[in-house]
Amino acid sequence: MSPPANSLPANSPLANSPLANSPLATVGSPMTAQQVLDREFLEVRARVLKIAATLDRIDRSAAPAADAGRMEQIRQGLQILLSDAPDRARQVQMLFSLPYRSDWPQQLGVPLENRG
Amino acid sequence: MDYFDPHIHMVSRTTDDYATLARMGCVGMSEPAFWAGFDRGSAASFRDYFRQLTEFERSRAANYGIAHYTWLCINAKEAENVELSREVIAMIPEFLERPNVLGIGEIGLNKNTKNESIVFLEHLDVAAKYDELVLIHTPHLHDKYLGTRMILDMLVKDARLKPQRVLVDHVEEHTIGEVLDRGFWAGMTLYPVSKCTPARAADMVEQFGTERLCVNSAGDWGPSQPTAVPNFIFEMRRRGHSEATIRKIVYENPLTFFRQCRRFQFAPRL
């Protein structure tokens, strides 16, 4: 791959993310952090409240208990939100994704060689 | 602002939707062949569907000054039936030279199965044989990452296909980087339930730039908004992005991708 057209500076919050070596020219946000917060605060507050109310509802609901695996996924997702990582959306997506294995063609019996 | 919706299922929409989209600046759209919400029972059903896509929808859109283009395939949700899929794939070439056909699509995976993979590869054979553009559906929710990686594996192993002639749709935060880094086009589908919101799409533009990136509405028979692309334009404007940046994503990029199709003709508004 050719050298990045816009390598991120070492002190960029994205410097350690998969975006750091992308050859793509980013656009960046025209808004300041305070402007983003001002615009989004009420919506984020409402969403946090919705999650809290949902967890409360699960706790006070009758048996059988909620599926432990999915509840653990939700807890891990909330931990990602509390981190300082620059790519929390990508990390949450990965948390809720099936894993990839490069030997899937052999596992499924789908020949990929000798095409074209 | 004039815009294209490169992925919208207008057979599921009313004529009033065409009028609304025209008023909001839609000058062109492309409609991939899709699942009808139920599995069709015969190749004859697909023949009628392909006629609808290449004849009726084209004229319905033209009544509102919208150029309608389409893509042909049997969708991944029906690909478990390999026998039916092969009958439909064999029928595709007789429709390929119709003037509003852009290529093969939306092909891809749904539950990432062996049969879906086989049918996907056989669609790629048609695209390679007839030198057609390809539009790709990637799975949703927990299947998306695995399915997208499987699709990319199948694409890069096929030397007949040029990445710049393939658009991988429904990308999200965890799949967009790899699609663009490998030289493919990427589409962000704006959807109220799964897929992506206008705000998250704008976030990805800010992080990944505007090259080889499009947005679309899907606008199908399920919960969806055919006006999602104007919603994205509005979100970008609210953030202070330039008209040139927005126009590149919603107008110039789809045109650049579509112009690789030898049949594609479009007259911009004067």
Which tens digits make up the pLDDT trace of B75-131? 999 999 999 999 999 999 999 999 999 999 999 999 999 999 999 999 999 999 999
Cα separation, B79 vs B114, whole angstroms: 10
Residues of chain B contacting residue A26, judged by C-beta atoms under 8 Å apart: 206-209
* Average pLDDT, integer, range B6-30: 98
pLDDT one-digit tens code per residue, A29-80? 999 999 999 999 999 999 999 999 999 999 999 999 989 999 999 999 999 9
Burial B54-82 (b: 16+ CB within 10 A, else e): beebbebbeebebbbbbbbbbbbbbbbbe
- Is B44 part of a structural domain of the chain? yes
For residue B5, which amino acid is it? D
Q: Would the pLDDT of B31 be above 90?
A: yes
How high is the pLDDT of residue A9? 45
Give how far B173 is from chain A: nearest CA, Å: 5
- Is B267 part of a structural domain of the chain? no
DSSP codes of every residue in B132-143? -EEEEE---GGG
Cis preceding-peptide flag for B132 (omega within 30 of 0): no
Give how far A60 is from chain B: nearest CA, Å: 27
Q: Residue B6 — very low, low, confident or very high, per pLDDT cuts 50/70/90?
A: very high
- Is B106 part of a structural domain of the chain? yes
Task: Provide the number of CB pairs (under 8 Å) joining chain A to chain B.
Answer: 97
- Is B45 part of a structural domain of the chain? yes
Q: Are A110 and B121 a contacting pair at CB < 8 A?
A: yes
Q: Which two tokens stand for residue B194?
A: 């799964």
Cα separation, B10 vs A73, whole angstroms: 37
Burial class (CB in 10 A: 0-12, 13-18, 19+), B87: middle
- Is B27 part of a structural domain of the chain? yes
Residues of chain A contacting residue B161, judged by C-beta atoms under 8 Å apart: 116
Cα separation, A60 vs A89, whole angstroms: 30
Q: Residue B254 — very low, low, confident or very high, per pLDDT cuts 50/70/90?
A: very high
How high is the pLDDT of residue B244? 97
Q: Are B141 and A96 a contacting pair at CB < 8 A?
A: yes
What are the boundaries of each domain within chain A?
28-61, 67-94
- With CA atoms as reference, report the closest residue to B11 among B219, B199, B153: B219
Q: Residue A115 — very low, low, confident or very high, per pLDDT cuts 50/70/90?
A: confident
* Average pLDDT, integer, range A89-94: 97
For residue B229, which amino acid is it? V
Q: Tell me: ipTM over 0.95.
A: no
How high is the pLDDT of residue A7? 46
Cα separation, B225 vs B22, whole angstroms: 15
Residues of chain A contacting residue B158, judged by C-beta atoms under 8 Å apart: 115-116
Q: Are B241 and A30 in contact (CB under 8 A)?
A: yes
Pairing of strands B166-168, B185-189: parallel
Q: Are B65 and B22 in contact (CB under 8 A)?
A: yes
Mutate to test the interface with A, among B113, B134, B173 (most CBs of A within 10 A): B173
- With CA atoms as reference, report the closest residue to B96 among B132, B59, B120, B64: B132
Pairing of strands B101-108, B26-32: unpaired
- With CA atoms as reference, report the closest residue to B101 among B161, B166, B54: B54
What percent of chain A is modeled with pLDDT above 70? 78
How high is the pLDDT of residue A21? 55
How high is the pLDDT of residue A11? 47
pLDDT one-digit tens code per residue, B150-197? 999 999 999 999 999 999 999 999 999 999 999 999 999 998 776 799
Burial B88-101 (b: 16+ CB within 10 A, else e): bbebbeebbebebb
Sign of CA dihedral B223, B224, B226, B231: positive
Of B144, B150, B205, the CB nearest to A97: B144
Q: Are B18 and B61 in contact (CB under 8 A)?
A: yes
Q: Residue A23 — very low, low, confident or very high, per pLDDT cuts 50/70/90?
A: low
* Domain of residue B164, residue span: 3-258
User: Considering its fold, how many domains does chain B have in total?
Assistant: 1
Q: Residue A8 — very low, low, confident or very high, per pLDDT cuts 50/70/90?
A: very low
Residues of chain B contacting residue A85, judged by C-beta atoms under 8 Å apart: none
Q: Are A89 and B114 a contacting pair at CB < 8 A?
A: no
pLDDT one-digit tens code per residue, B205-253? 999 999 999 999 999 999 999 999 999 999 999 999 999 999 999 999 9
Q: What CATH number is associated with residue B98?
A: 3.20.20.140
Instruction: Report helix, strand or coil for B68.
Output: strand
Q: Residue A20 — very low, low, confident or very high, per pLDDT cuts 50/70/90?
A: low
Mutate to test the interface with B, among A2, A6, A24 (most CBs of B within 10 A): A24
Q: Would the pLDDT of B53 be above 70?
A: yes
Cα separation, B144 vs A70, whole angstroms: 18
